[in-house]
Amino acid sequence: MAKRKTPSAANPPTIQDTSERAPKRQKPSSSSAPTPSSVPSSSTEFSPITLCTPWTTSTLPSHLPPLPPILSPTLETAALTHSGQKKSPSDLSYERLEWIGDVYLELIASELIFSTFPTIPEGEMSRRRELLIRNSTLSAFSIRYGLDKRANFPSEFNLTGRPNGSTAHAKKKEKALADIFEAYVGAIIRSDTVNGYKNTVAWLKALWGPLLKDEIKVEEGGGRMIDKEQNPKVRLEQLIGASCVKIEYRDLPGTGERFVDKQPQFGIGVYFTGWGEENLMLGEAWDFGKKSAGHKAAEKACGHPVVVGRLVERKRAWMTQRAIQRAEEEEKEKEKEKEAGKLEE
């Protein structure tokens, strides 16, 4: 029998409160317990709220931000592999990573918009988020980063299509390129449990910011709070105006020939041409002056279902494409300047 040690004065026995003694727990296995290095030191370190700080025009980049790396070679291969290219059923492809990446993208976009634009309604927040995460935007990013060249796709996705076979439809290609971008985002975060999310937020904030540059400027100037006193013609221009479209105010038939209380009335119609529309009437109104009739017609046009729906979305798509083209042109100019500098040396 082992001899029991008698506590000394230097090492007094500890006193435990047995009235609320917690039951013994089994020690968690190493596979389920988080390691100290993977546990954030602060409860706010990985908060999507604190990481997604507002955009400001002064910090918007003028160049394409660098693509963050995927720290796991296995996840990197999976993020760029189409399911049709798997060698065995157990191999990974981008579908699973695309599913979680889509969630991350929507969350980060939502937080950035929510924190940057406190004055806009929920519907407008949703439209701006859709601009950032829709397939046309994400597929363009995939091409700019060269993910299309790194991706392992079936041959029908190539420029010439499958030899003696089919060619993937343009929309199908766009969807696939958007999917690998979402998968790449998922792989960045899943491969780095400590800094992956934080790095992804910083990258996407820099990548998306230029697409909303005009809206950010408006917010910094006090917000686009549309009220009854604002000029409705200005309001309509803000909604659907662009350099490639035409908004015209024309006299209606009979204007100046109709009388109310012996005073002539003037009729003005608002017509829109552009983005597949030709002389589309958006609103009309009659009043005792052309100016007031034009304002009333613009007011009606601002509430036209085609304006608040189809035309607003087409303007956003045009602005996105223009921002992407502008960024590409800036990159080409910088490359030319670098080459010129090398030749001078």
Give tens-digit pLDDT for 192-246: 999 999 999 999 999 999 999 888 988 887 754 444 346 788 888 888 888 889 9
The pLDDT assigned to 159 comes to 47
Burial class (CB in 10 A: 0-12, 13-18, 19+), 8: exposed
The pLDDT assigned to 8 comes to 44
Residues of the chain with CATH 1.10.1520.10: 47-220
Pairing of strands 258-260, 263-274: antiparallel
**Which residues have CB under 8 Å from 151's CB, separation 6+?**
80, 81, 82, 142, 176, 177, 180
For residue 124, give the 3-state DSSP assignment. helix
The pLDDT assigned to 185 comes to 97
Residue 155 · residue 162 · CB < 8 Å: yes
For residue 22, give the 3-state DSSP assignment. coil
Q: How many CA atoms lie within 13 A of 190 on its CB side?
A: 21
**What CATH code would you report for 47-220?**
1.10.1520.10
The pLDDT assigned to 155 comes to 74
Question: Looking at the annotation, which residues are catalytic?
Answer: 102, 182
308 DSSP assignment = I
> Model-level pTM?
0.55
Q: What is the pLDDT along the chain (345 residues), one digit of tens a residue?
A: 444 444 444 444 443 433 344 444 444 443 433 333 343 444 445 566 778 899 999 999 989 999 999 999 999 999 999 877 777 777 788 999 999 999 999 999 999 999 999 888 787 888 889 889 999 899 999 999 999 899 888 776 664 445 555 556 678 888 989 999 999 999 999 999 999 999 999 999 999 999 998 889 888 877 544 443 467 888 888 888 888 899 999 999 888 777 776 778 889 999 999 988 899 999 999 988 888 888 889 988 888 887 877 888 888 888 888 888 888 888 888 888 777 777 666
The pLDDT assigned to 38 comes to 40
- Choose the CATH number for 232-344 among 3.30.930.10, 3.40.50.280, 3.30.160.20, 1.10.150.130: 3.30.160.20
Encode burial over 192-218: b for 16+ CB neighbours within 10 A, e otherwise: bbeebbeebbbbbbbbbbbbbeebbeb
Residue whose token pair is 């100046």: 256
Residue whose token pair is 């026995």: 13
Q: How many CA atoms lie within 13 A of 282 on its CB side?
A: 35
Please give the Cα distance from 200 to 38 (Å, whole number): 17
Q: What share of the chain is helix, strand, coil (3-state, %, to 5)?
A: 55, 10, 35
**Which residues have CB under 8 Å from 307's CB, separation 6+?**
236, 239, 240, 282, 301
Please give the Cα distance from 232 to 302 (Å, whole number): 8
Strand residues in the chain grouped as ranges (E): 246-251, 258-260, 263-274, 277-287
For residue 285, give the 3-state DSSP assignment. strand
Residue 267 · residue 286 · CB < 8 Å: yes
Residues of the chain with CATH 3.30.160.20: 232-344
